């Protein structure tokens, strides 16, 4: 028999093996929840799937009696809007400064230490300042995401720009390019797929900052909702919301990856 | 007037002398191949022609005036690797020089101008044997085809001199032979002036009209950096039968001392 390190599962086996832990966790939850509910039918800690389904049906498909809104969709829209604006702005600012730092030594010498310094500031510690400076509305939440992930994106893109072979930069000059053209025709297009992968990496922190900001001050949003219903121990709402947030994060990641593979095939071929 | 002239050119890094007392003239249309042990300043010399390194003493002249101190359109280059833009298709790679000239701000050509550039690129690609690959990306090409593309991309700019830095060093022998034919035919048809570094003496004699050997005339084993390399042989290729064996032996000696 071959050594374990040399044995590869077949495609089907790999899928089955991959699903197995999920199934086990589900099973574990079902049995634990069943045991608790048998002892106390009013137990709120591990609600049955039917209870969760009822709650979600109420939040997603019945208008709220007070506001007339469909709570789940209103929360989702509010959160995605904040996340979208925050991450979008961070990507834009990150691209501009990442390209400038990566391309022009004089700009890099001026700004790179500042960016490194800023990236070491824990963004959550700045949240009170943001609330004071920008109020408790949308702006401070967007700013937290922006401040939280922009330094990372800048540093990432600067690093990737410096990895572009000198040969290509010299070659472009021998074809008559000036500095601006080198940025526009060589550095910017080569950094675009790297921007997407930097954004994918920073989506995790972005969600963290979003939910944290919503937990502290908001009137709607996915993070706001789970922290609101925590007071009533409403696990039947919290658990589906967490699953829903995870699903959203997963879908955004997949969409970005698909887009990158479609738009920048040369990049993904070089990665292999 | 010679196209390239060196008047007592030196290149030093601090106390280390890389090249010393280079005095040489190259006429338009010559194909200069450069051989020498590694560490003998071949690449430094090419970089001085390219403009990424400057002579520390003496004068390096292109068409009678000091050579520009940074790379520009007067000198074309093909490196061993990374010479083409991976994010552009073959055709766009070759159109690049024209597009950069057409629009100084965007570096992109539009409309009729773009059509003309495309047509020109197609013809150039035909010449280097890439007519069937216009819409491919460089990563879809073999190593030899990528170097063909790099040549096409450089030559469409019509540089005064073409610099080749071991362009075929990474290719298989069969592919190299094809590339030799291609380079010679381009050199003849476009009346190029070429400087080419090679590790392969036979390749140097096969392609060049003139072969330079870079070597250290004085070599201090205790301090290999004390003296620079010079052009120890400047051989007009057609008139000499290549003294391959003795040259190879000399280069190997120097290489041993330099520890490469």
Contacts of A138 (CB under 8 A, 6+ apart): A82
Q: What is the pLDDT of residue A7?
A: 93
Q: Any idea which residue has 């072969």 for tokens? A: B211
B50 touches chain A (CB under 8 A): yes
Q: What is the mean pLDDT of residues B64-76?
A: 92
What φ, ψ does residue B195 adopt, rounded to 5°?
A: -120, 125
Q: What is the pLDDT of residue B259?
A: 67
Nearest CA among B174, B117, B125, B181 for reference residue B148: B125
Inter-chain CB proximity B50 and A184 less than 8 Å: no
Q: Which two tokens stand for residue B256?
A: 């041993």
Write out pLDDT tens, residues A83-105: 999 999 999 999 999 999 999 99
Q: What is the mean pLDDT of residues B62-81?
A: 92
Inter-chain CB proximity B75 and A174 less than 8 Å: yes
Point out the residue among B70, B86, B138 whose CB comes nearest to the CB of A173.
B70
Q: What is the pLDDT of residue B161?
A: 93
Question: Does the pLDDT value for residue B260 go beyond 60?
Answer: no
Q: What is the pLDDT of residue B154?
A: 93
Scanning A140-169 for CB atoms below 8 A from B yields: 165, 167-168
Inter-chain CB proximity B107 and A177 less than 8 Å: yes
Are the beta carbons of A172 and A185 closer than 8 angstroms?
yes
Contacts of B235 (CB under 8 A, 6+ apart): B210, B211, B212, B213
Inter-chain CB proximity A177 and B79 less than 8 Å: no
Question: Does the pLDDT value for residue A123 go beyond 70?
Answer: yes
Inter-chain CB proximity B87 and A175 less than 8 Å: no
Q: What is the pLDDT of residue B240?
A: 60
Q: What percent of chain B has pLDDT over 70?
A: 97
Question: Does the pLDDT value for residue B193 go beyond 90?
Answer: yes
Write out pLDDT tens, residues A132-143: 998 888 898 999
Q: What is the pLDDT of residue B242?
A: 64
Nearest CA among B173, B251, B180, B182 for reference residue B212: B251
> Quick one: pLDDT band at residue B46, thresholds 50, 70, 90?
very high
A224 touches chain B (CB under 8 A): no
Q: How far is B138 from chain A (nearest CA, A)?
A: 8
Averaged confidence pLDDT in chain B: 88
Cα A229 from Cα A238, distance rounded (Å): 7
Greater pLDDT, A198 or B15: A198
Inter-chain CB proximity A176 and B154 less than 8 Å: no
Nearest CA among B159, B179, B153 for reference residue B83: B153
Q: Are strands B31-36 and B57-62 parallel, antiparallel or unpaired?
A: unpaired
How far CA B102 is from CA of A183, B89, B106, B110, in Å, comes to 17, 19, 9, 9
pTM of this structure: 0.87
Q: Which residues of B touch A173 (CB under 8 A)?
A: 70-72
| Angle of helix A222-229 versus helix A188-216 axis, rounded to 10 | 30
Q: What is the pLDDT of residue B98?
A: 93
Q: Which residues of B touch A170 (CB under 8 A)?
A: 50, 52, 71, 77
B92 touches chain A (CB under 8 A): no
Q: What is the mean pLDDT of residues B130-159?
A: 92
Inter-chain CB proximity A269 and B97 less than 8 Å: no
What φ, ψ does residue A218 adopt, rounded to 5°?
A: -165, 165
Averaged confidence pLDDT in chain A: 93
Q: Any idea which residue has 């400087």 for tokens? A: B195
Write out pLDDT tens, residues B222-232: 777 778 888 88
Cα B235 from Cα B45, distance rounded (Å): 18
Please give the helix or strand (H or E) that residue B54 lies within, else none.
none
How far CA B165 is from CA of A121, A206, B38, B156, in Å, comes to 46, 47, 13, 18
The DSSP annotation for A203-222 comes to: HHHHHHHHHHHHHHS-SSSH
Q: What percent of chain A has pLDDT over 70?
A: 100
Q: What is the mean pLDDT of residues A186-190?
A: 95
Point out the residue among B82, B87, B157 whose CB comes nearest to the CB of A266.
B87
Q: How far is A192 from chain B (nearest CA, A)?
A: 10
ipTM of the complex: 0.89
Q: Are strands B16-26 and B4-13 parallel, antiparallel or unpaired?
A: antiparallel
Q: What percent of chain A has pLDDT over 90?
A: 80
């Amino acid at each position: 028999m071959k050594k374990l390190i040399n044995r590869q599962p077949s495609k089907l086996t790999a899928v089955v093996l991959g699903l197995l832990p999920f199934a086990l966790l589900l099973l574990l939850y079902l049995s634990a929840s069943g045991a608790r509910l048998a002892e106390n039918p009013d137990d709120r800690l591990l609600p049955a799937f039917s209870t969760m389904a009822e709650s979600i049906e109420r939040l997603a498909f019945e208008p709220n009696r007070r506001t007339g809104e469909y709570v789940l969709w209103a929360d989702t829209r509010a959160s995605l809007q904040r996340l979208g604006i925050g991450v979008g702005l961070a990507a834009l600012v990150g691209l501009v400064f990442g390209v400038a730092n990566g391309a022009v030594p004089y700009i890099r010498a001026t700004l790179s230490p500042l960016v490194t310094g800023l990236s070491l500031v824990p963004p959550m510690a700045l949240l009170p300042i943001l609330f004071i400076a920008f109020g408790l509305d949308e702006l401070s939440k967007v700013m937290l995401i922006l401040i939280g992930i922009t330094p990372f994106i800048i540093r990432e893109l600067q690093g990737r720009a410096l990895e572009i072979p000198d040969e290509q930069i010299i070659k472009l000059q021998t074809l008559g390019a000036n500095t601006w053209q080198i940025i526009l025709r060589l550095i910017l297009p080569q950094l675009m797929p790297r921007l997407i992968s930097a954004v994918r990496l920073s989506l995790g922190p972005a969600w963290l900052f979003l939910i944290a900001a919503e937990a502290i001050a908001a009137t709607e949003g996915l993070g706001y909702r789970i922290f609101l219903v925590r007071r009533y121990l409403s696990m039947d709402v919290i658990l589906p919301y967490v699953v829903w947030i995870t699903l959203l994060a997963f879908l955004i990641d997949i969409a970005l990856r698909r887009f990158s593979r479609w738009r920048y095939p040369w990049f993904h071929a070089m990665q292999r | 007037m010679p196209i390239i002239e060196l008047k007592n050119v030196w290149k030093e890094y601090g106390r280390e002398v890389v090249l010393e007392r280079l005095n040489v003239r190259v006429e338009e249309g010559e194909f200069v191949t450069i051989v020498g042990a590694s560490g003998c300043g071949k690449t430094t010399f090419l970089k001085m022609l390219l403009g990424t390194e400057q002579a520390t003493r003496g004068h390096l002249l292109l068409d009678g005036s000091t050579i520009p101190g940074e790379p520009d359109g007067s000198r074309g280059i093909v490196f061993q690797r990374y010479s083409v833009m991976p994010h552009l298709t073959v055709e766009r790679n070759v159109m690049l020089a024209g597009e950069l000239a057409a629009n100084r701000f965007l570096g992109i050509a539009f409309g009729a101008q773009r059509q003309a550039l495309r047509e020109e690129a197609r013809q150039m690609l035909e010449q280097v044997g890439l007519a069937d690959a216009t819409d491919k990306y460089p990563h879809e090409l073999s190593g030899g085809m990528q170097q063909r593309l790099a040549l096409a991309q450089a030559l469409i700019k019509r540089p005064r001199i073409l610099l080749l830095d071991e362009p075929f060093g990474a290719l298989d022998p069969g592919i190299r032979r094809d590339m030799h034919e291609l380079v010679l035919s381009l050199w003849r048809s476009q009346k190029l002036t070429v400087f080419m570094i090679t590790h392969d003496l036979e390749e140097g004699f096969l392609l060049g009209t003139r072969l330079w050997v870079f070597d250290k005339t004085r070599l201090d084993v205790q301090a290999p950096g004390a003296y620079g390399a010079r052009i120890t042989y400047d051989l007009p290729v057609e008139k000499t039968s290549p003294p391959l064996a003795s040259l190879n032996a000399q280069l190997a000696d120097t290489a041993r001392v330099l520890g490469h």
